[in-house]
Amino acid sequence: MRFKLLLSTSFLILTAHFGSYAQENNHTLWYTKAAEKWTDALPIGNGRLGAMIFAGTAADHIQFNEETVWTGKPRDYNRKGAYQYLPEIRKLLFEGKQAAAEALAQEHFMGLQSTSGDRKVWVNEIKAGKGLKGNPALANFEDKLWKTIKVPAYEGWETVGLANLDGAVWFRTTFDAPENWAGKDLVLDLNRIRDQDFTYINGQLIGNTDNTEPRKYTVPARLIKKGKNVIAIQVLNYFDKGGLAGYKDTTKKIGIYPVGESIERGISLVKDWKYKIQDENPPAVPQYQGSYQPFGDLNLYFKQTKSLVTNYKRSLDISTAVAKTTYTLNGVNYQREYFASQPNQAVIIHLTADKKASISFDAELSSAHRKSSVKTLANNVIALSIQVKDGAIKGESRLTALIKNGSVKMINGKISINQADEVTLYLAAGTNFINAQDVSGNPSTANIKALNGLKGKTYTEIKQKHIKEYQSYYNTFSVDFGRSDNENLPTDERLAKFATANDPAFAALYMQYGRYLLISSSRPGTQPANLQGIWNDLLTPPWGSKYTTNINLEMNYWPTEILNLSALNEPLFNKIKGLAKNGAETAKAYYNARGWVLHHNTDLWNGTAPINASNHGIWVSGGAWLSEHLWEHYQFSKDLKFLESEAYPLMKQAALFYEDFLVKDPKTGWLISTPSNSPENGGLVAGPTMDHQIIRSLFRNCIAAAETLNVDAEFRKSLTEKVKQLAPNQIGKYGQLQEWLTDVDDTASKHRHVSHLWGVYPGNDITWDSNEKMMQAAKQSLLYRGDDATGWSLAWKINFWARFKDGDHAMKLVKMLMKPANNGAGSYVNLFDAHPPFQIDGNFGGAAGIAEMIVQSHQGYLDILPALPAAIPNGEIKGLQARGGFELDLTWNKGVLTSLTIKSKTGGPCKIRYKNNNVTFETKVGETYNLNGDLKAR
């Protein structure tokens, strides 16, 4: 047994983990400075509640989420009778008229958007001066009491002080016209304004635009006065990113100058302008689907002198799911611990100091939602209420403070604590969401239940119960890739050096961090992990922080089976049931088909209709891909009851849809999928390769499931015939696997989606054993596509290269995924995946990809170390799962397998391949088999 010591900034730690000793940094992220940005902060979560810990010393910021805070409401997403346009769309595609097909589909085949407000009425009210005294357009209008704001703000006025505001805002400024401008027409160059503007010079309207076109207004000479002139702009913004945006290239200035000249000869208007909010309730903007929302913010303001802070450290121990902040101030050592308890359904914050009466701070709740309020409920409890804009969700969070000695007072809706020895904060939150059809719940119910459950419990009890529950998932798996010098570095420094360092232990930490994030965002009984897991601070997050089902939602769940987190599939499987119900209505409305269908996106409300644009939104394989997860769970678990009662019924209904949907290609006679697309590349087409791989796999899985269950003989026969007729994988003129039915691949394309390789991973439609030639063609496609990609795409490519058995190439991409993001793909300081911006799927796909280098089981046998990179010469993994109901422990040294332990959970034959060595033996339920590096019993 090895003993390792870690000397940290302030103390010596010896930690035991999985029965062997390892350095703290193999399961800890840590830093020597507080978080500055949201992607520096450390995430905690219990599946339902998530929080980001900034860990400042003078002020601590805890931004928090509750999984059901979304925009939107239960409604019908389906366009009734859309199927009537299906034959014409198909006809146009068969005739090669893609643009016409897309235009027809955009008009008649997309899902229904939410109800829009009456924009015309609102604009007229705003133009008429609603909410104002006087006319701000006039030069002599008194704006002395107006506030100031920086202009322009390319990413919206939200970034310069008007957080989360939509509506009508007036802006005013002045300029002094030089004498030599007398008699000259001028150009007022404002570039982009979001969304509509009415622009005045000295009280006269000189321009009005209602789109994103650059604004270059000509100002007649007669309107310009000698000396001071007033510019007044009324900006109407309907949704996200409002105001004077200016130029993306900030070296280009907005300003005013004589016609025929340039801004260099003019006056820059890049400066502070005065502003006044006229109205912040614009009409609702129609949306195809809902967006995930933040709940609120907890800020702790510490009453301390401005002395020098020393020994600062913030950390996250992913083996216990406890974050910690420690520092020394005025000779006092302070510590805060934070965790999101699943048993007690609250975020817990525990503050201590090694000197009595040293803890004094104010605790304040607030929210980004414009409709939010805080009230005092008791002498140590405050509540934050929120209402999502233009949606059905209402929420309430409660903060309770328990103190040891000292005093607690309620001042202006804040909890004020003075000279306490110790403080524990309980933060609970709930909404009115019951299910995707029912929002009749009481938002306070979850809070009352959580806080009642915490009564009478000590902090130590609560923490121990949290750790025990969390470790029931975390401790099922361990990984050790050896030691490295960089383990002693803070995580941000370690990340910066990883690309050029010999630090395999960091890759092991990344695997476990992926598991940590999934445990924290997907517990049984919760919603599944979305595009950002459960963490989001924006009212308009990237891609709505939804569930994108043409790769991203599925990638979130790649680690569940192989990395021994099978129970975390439950939220996904429950989601599939809801989607199948709604998807049956979509199948009927759009394709007049049986079964169920899911297009490329969904939300809290289980929308299944096509959204956004027809060139990428009409993609029919979401239901079939999710069905693959059901089958994979059976493959790993061999749970016949699950197969019979849950998986097969859903898989069968998905397959029934394609039985009705597939049509004969008039040129080849093959059955093909149309209309669809190869996500999100090449537009609306007939017969994308990815669809056929997914459908063929679904049919084969349904046949195998029905045979196992001894049911549906006629259905099996029908699917067997259709598998033979389905368009096959094809090799194109460049030796590549074709992405489409026709050989039109562009070898210069570096598109982030490599969808036609689905059959390589996560599917098994193309394998080395079944078709080496096709596998080589798939590899050639990936070589053409290149290595550079967005974060999640890098993660997918890691899995591809593992399946291609090129571990060194896979490891190259691991290093690209684990490099500082710096406005590109990689990882943020807190190791969140950067698309960019943040998307969590890369964390999950990357963790699964490293495992795929170690063991593969998709070809009917256990393939041991199939793609071990030279950068991980030594290692030990315990608890890795494989298809067939097997759990593996293995060790290797200098790139060579030294031991393999196989636990058979369900019995049956076990086939193993290691290099050129193959063995097969029968196993019994619950028995363990110990083999050496030559696959001989030991």
pLDDT digits (tens, 9 = 90+) for 856-887: 999 999 999 999 999 999 999 999 999 999 99
Q: Which two tokens stand for residue 883?
A: 């298809």
Q: Which residue has the tokens 């002599």?
A: 140
* CA dist., res. 580 & res. 570, Å (int): 15
Q: Is the peptide bond before 762 cis (omega within 30 degrees of 0)?
A: yes
pLDDT band for position 23 (cuts 50, 70, 90)? very low
Q: Could you read off the pLDDT of 331-383 as tens digits, one per residue?
A: 999 999 999 999 999 999 999 999 999 999 999 999 999 999 999 998 899 99
What residues contact 754, with CB distance under 8 A and at least 6 apart?
A: 781, 782, 785, 793, 796, 797, 800
The alpha helices in 832-930, defined as continuous H runs, are 841-854
pLDDT class for 25, splitting at 50, 70, 90?
low
Give Dmax over CA atoms of the chain in angstroms.
98
Q: What is the mean pLDDT of residues 892-900?
A: 98
The verdict on 577 and 701 lying in the same domain is yes
Give CA–CA dist 762/880, Å, rounded: 17
Listed in sequence order, the DSSP H helices in 436-569 are 445-454, 459-474, 491-498, 504-521, 552-556, 559-562
Give the residue-averaged pLDDT of 64-89.
98
Instruction: Please check whether residue 888 lies inside any domain of the structure.
Output: no
User: What is the rounded CA–CA span in Å between residue 561 and residue 710?
Assistant: 26
**Domain harbouring 26, CATH code:** 2.70.98.50
Q: How many domains does the chain have?
A: 3
**Whether 390 contacts 559, CB under 8 Å:** no
CB neighbourhood size of 143 (10 A):
17
Per-residue tokens: 111: 């899902």
Compute the distance between CA of residue 821 and CA of residue 811 in angstroms, rounded to an integer: 18
Give the per-residue pLDDT at 7. 28
Same domain, 66 and 147: no
Domain check: are 140 and 262 in the same one? yes
Q: Which residues contact 267 (CB under 8 A, 6 or more apart)?
A: 175, 176, 255, 256, 257
The reply to whether 56 and 135 lie within a common domain is no
Over the stretch 624-671, which tens digit does the pLDDT of each residue have?
Answer: 999 999 999 999 999 999 999 999 999 999 999 999 999 999 999 999
**C-alpha closest to that of 90 among 681, 611, 665:** 665
Give residue 123's domain range.
119-279
AA identity, residue 142: E
Specify whether 573 is located in the same domain as 710.
yes
Rounded distance between C-alpha atoms, residue 814 and residue 808, angstroms: 10
Residue 186 falls inside a structural domain: yes
Structural tokens at position 605: 């409300």
Cβ–Cβ < 8 Å for 872, 626: no
Position 24 confidence tier, pLDDT thresholds 50, 70, 90: low
Residue given tokens 């590899």 in the structure block = 779
pLDDT tens figures, 536-593: 999 999 999 999 999 999 999 999 999 999 999 999 999 999 999 999 999 999 999 9
386 Rama class: left (phi>0) / alpha (psi -120 to 50) / beta: beta
Q: Is 14 a domain residue? A: yes
pLDDT at 13: 30
Reported in sequence order, the residue ranges of 513-632 that DSSP labels E, i.e. its strands, are 547-548, 601-602
Q: Are residues 185 and 269 in the same domain?
A: yes
- Judged by DSSP in three states, 460 sits in helix
Tell me how far apart the alpha carbons of residues 703 and 652 are, in angstroms, rounded to a whole number: 9
Q: Are residues 352 and 215 part of one domain? A: no
pLDDT at 11 over 60: no
Q: What is the radius of gyration, based on Cα positions, of the chain?
A: 30
- Pairing state between β 826-827 and 681-685: unpaired
- Domain-ending residue, one of 455, 475, 495: 475
Strand (E) positions, 178-294?
Answer: 186-194, 196-201, 204-209, 215-219, 227-237, 243-246, 255-258, 267-268, 271-279
219 and 336 in one domain? Answer: no
Considering only CA atoms, which of 120, 110, 84 is closest in space to residue 236?
120
Taking only the tens place, the pLDDT of each residue in 724-737 is 999 999 999 999 99
> What's the rounded Cα separation, in Å, for the pair 505 and 502?
9
Under the banding of pLDDT at 50, 70 and 90, the label for residue 212 is confident
Find the helix or strand (DSSP H, E) in which 705 lies: helix 689-709
Name the nearest CA neighbour of 232 among 222, 221, 241, 219: 219
Helix (H) or strand (E) holding 410: strand 407-411
Examine the domain organization and report whether 418 and 465 are in the same domain: yes
Burial class (CB in 10 A: 0-12, 13-18, 19+), 677: buried
User: What 3-state DSSP class applies to 24?
Assistant: helix
Whether 3 has a pLDDT exceeding 60, the answer reads: no
Residue-wise pLDDT tens digits, 158-198: 999 998 899 999 999 999 999 999 999 999 999 999 999 99
- Whether residues 201 and 272 share a domain: the answer is yes
509: confidence class by pLDDT, cuts 50, 70, 90? very high
pLDDT of residue 148: 97
Q: What is the DSSP letter of 117?
A: P
Tokens 């406890």 belong to 322
Q: What's 207's domain CATH number? A: 2.60.120.260
- In whole angstroms, what separates CA 864 from the centre of its chain? 32
Q: What are phi and psi of 642, to 5 degrees?
A: -60, -45
DSSP letters for 80-97 = TTGGGGHHHHHHHHHTT-
Contact between 6 and 483 under an 8 Å Cβ cutoff? The reply is no
Mean pLDDT of 231-251: 95
Whether 394 and 449 share a structural domain: yes
99, part of any domain: yes
Tokens 């050496």 belong to residue: 932
Residue 307's pLDDT is: 83
Q: Which residues contact 650 (CB under 8 A, 6 or more apart)?
A: 576, 577, 580, 627, 630
Query: How many CA atoms, within 13 angstroms, populate the side-chain half-sphere of residue 680?
Result: 16
Query: Cis peptide before 610, with omega less than 30 degrees from 0?
Result: no
Q: Using alpha carbons, select from 692, 598, 720, 575 the residue that is nearest to residue 653.
A: 598
For 239, 538, 721, the CA distances from 287, given in Å and listed in that order, are: 10, 17, 41
Q: What is the model's pLDDT at position 10?
A: 31
- CATH number of the domain within which 83 lies: 1.50.10.10
Q: What is the pLDDT of residues 423-433, one digit of tens each?
A: 999 999 999 99
DSSP letters of 783-825? HHH-S---HHHHHHHHHHHHHTT-HHHHHHHHHHHTSB-TTSS
Closest CA to 914 of 926, 929, 899: 899
My answer on whether 138 and 185 are in the same domain is yes
Residue that has been written with the tokens 């300029």 in this structure: 175
Residues 794-800: what's their mean pLDDT? 98
Number of Cβ atoms within 10 Å of the Cβ of 58? 14
pLDDT of residue 676 exceeding 80, the answer is: yes
pLDDT one-digit tens code per residue, 830-840: 999 999 999 99
- The answer to whether 79 and 66 are in contact (CB under 8 A) is no
Over 70: is that where the pLDDT of 17 sits? Answer: no
More confident site: 498 or 8: 498
Helix (H) or strand (E) holding 353: strand 346-353
For residue 910, being part of any structural domain is answered with: no
495 inside domain: no
- Is pLDDT above 90 for 677? yes
- Is residue 28, in this structure, part of any structural domain at all? yes
Q: How many CB atoms lie within 10 A of CB 96?
A: 10
The candidate with the shortest Cα–Cα distance to 902, out of 938, 859, 850, 853, is: 938
Domain boundary among 718, 736, 754: 736
- Is residue 794, in this structure, part of any structural domain at all? no
Q: Which residue, 475, 503, 528, sits at the end of a domain?
A: 475
Answer positive or negative: Cα dihedral of 795, 801, 805, 806: negative
Q: How far apart are CA 810 and CA 856, in angstroms?
A: 14
Residues 6+ apart with CB under 8 A from 592: 83, 86, 660
Q: What is the pLDDT of residues 771-794, one digit of tens each?
A: 999 999 999 999 999 999 999 999
